């Protein structure tokens, strides 16, 4: 049951991330996933596997906030680093508990990125 819940949460995050977000290669002036990771001096991008689109959506929202002055470059890079480190820990020791911990952590990060973007992007605010 717990595994089903985690899968559902990740699916919901994936679906939410797909709405209005460019694909991993970047489109319409949006940077690619590799380019977003490269902004922080990453020599080789992290392979997020099946979570790549959701992570890209999260990074993209943080990028929009950074680009519009709502987030410093240092905070943007620290945000990316924290996600990469947690994902690496999850992949190094996979299992139901690790997957659940990753999902919970990632959904918190996704909410944070949306909050940052909503603060500077009027298209995300109600009204």
Tell me the pLDDT tens digit for each residue of 2-54: 555 445 545 444 444 444 555 555 556 678 888 899 998 877 888 999 999 99
Q: Give this prediction's pTM.
A: 0.77
Compute the distance between CA of residue 48 and CA of residue 55 in angstroms, rounded to an integer: 7
Query: Of 107, 103, 87, nearest to 2 (Cα)?
Result: 103
| Paired tokens of 118 | 């909503």
């Amino acid at each position: 049951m717990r595994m089903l819940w985690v899968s559902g949460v990740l699916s919901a995050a994936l679906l939410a991330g797909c709405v209005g977000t460019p694909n991993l290669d970047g489109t319409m002036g949006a940077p690619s996933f590799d380019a977003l990771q490269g902004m922080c001096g990453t020599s080789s991008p992290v392979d997020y596997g099946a979570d790549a689109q959701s992570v890209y959506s999260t990074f993209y929202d943080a990028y929009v906030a950074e680009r519009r002055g709502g987030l410093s470059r240092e905070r943007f890079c620290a945000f990316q680093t924290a996600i990469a480190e947690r994902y690496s820990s999850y992949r190094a020791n996979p299992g139901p508990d690790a997957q659940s911990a990753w999902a919970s952590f990632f959904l918190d990060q996704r909410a944070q990125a949306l909050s940052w973007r909503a603060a500077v992007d009027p298209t995300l605010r109600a009204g």
